[in-house]
Structure 1
Amino acid sequence: MIKFRAYLKGTRIIVDVQEINYKYEDIVYESGKYKEVADFKDIIILQSTGLKDKNGVVIYEGDVVKTKYGEHGRHIGVVTFRPGEFISKGVKQYEGYVEKLDGVFEIIGNKYEHPHLLEE
């Protein structure tokens, strides 16, 4: 089963999506002990890659990851989907580098809650 998270633009938090309703263009997520609904226009949906980092944490689109074992050596990038695969697209001094998510990666944050990880 494919898992999703959503970045809630108004509150700037990421939540686990319990249900996606394409007919009404909204999602359902749990907030404490209550279920909440958010419109597509107020969120960014993030898909799970189905992979885990070196600490056993599931990797999602938008996560900032680092590796020491990539094709280009050390690499820090943002997880992005391109047709047929998830990649780590380099940031900062690694801009221009692209790594397939087939090595040992570690999540160091995500681009929404930790935008400083993308800055020079």
Structure 2
Amino acid sequence: MRKIKFRAWDKATKNGWIPKPIKQMIYFNVYCPPEYLGVTYDEEGTWKRRFEIMQYTGLKDQVGEAIYEGDILYRTVIISLIGSDMPKRTVGEYLEVVFRDDYAGFFIGETPLHGYVGATVDIHTKCKCTDVEVIGNIYENPELLEDNT
């Protein structure tokens, strides 16, 4: 059976944890008024969430750490051209885990997440690569993805 877990990012305190009302809502299906979940309204009447909820993907990285939606993964790819005198080159990649509603699954770009986890060969280039490792998330370490674009 698939284990369903969540974690939350508190935008106000900039802290990753699961507050008690969210735990109650998730684990016990208890109705929580929006203000308990940190929902506020701006001047136009549009609501804003205080917490970002991230779901566990069901997969773990190379060191056994759980991979959640919003995590940033790192791996290296060893690029070599067969029949060329060019030396091998190692390139580091930062990958963002997202949930895609159109496919109802966890993806990195257009590729399902499971194509990256546990892989020793890149599914696109067929070059050797290392397994992925969680090195942060989009809330604590957004600069990792900014440098990668």
**TM-score, with length taken from structure 2:** 0.56
1:8-87 matched pairs, under 5 angstroms = 8-16=10-18, 18-20=23-25, 23-25=31-33, 38-40=37-39, 41-68=49-76, 75-82=93-100, 83-87=103-107
CA distance in 2, matches of 1:18, 1:57: 21
**Cα distance change of structure 1 residues 9 and 56 upon mapping to structure 2, 3 Å threshold:** same
Q: Give the aligned residue type for 2:111.
A: E
Q: Which runs of 5+ in 1 are unaligned?
A: 27-36, 90-97
**More helix by percentage:** 2
CA distance in 2, matches of 1:115, 1:74: 16
**More strand by percentage:** 1
Residue in 2 that maps onto 1:31: none
- Matched-pair identity in %: 36
Output one character per residue of 1:15-56: Cα deviation in whole Å (capped at 9) or x when no partner.
146332563256xxxxxxxxxx64352111100001101110
Q: Which runs of 5+ in 2 are unaligned?
A: 40-48, 78-90, 119-131
1:99 aligns with 2:117: no
Equivalent pairs, count: 99
CA distance in 2, matches of 1:107, 1:87: 15
CA distance in 2, matches of 1:25, 1:62: 26
CA distance in 1, matches of 2:31, 2:63: 37
CA distance in 2, matches of 1:119, 1:59: 20
**Aligned CA-pair RMSD:** 2.4
1:113 aligns with 2:115: no
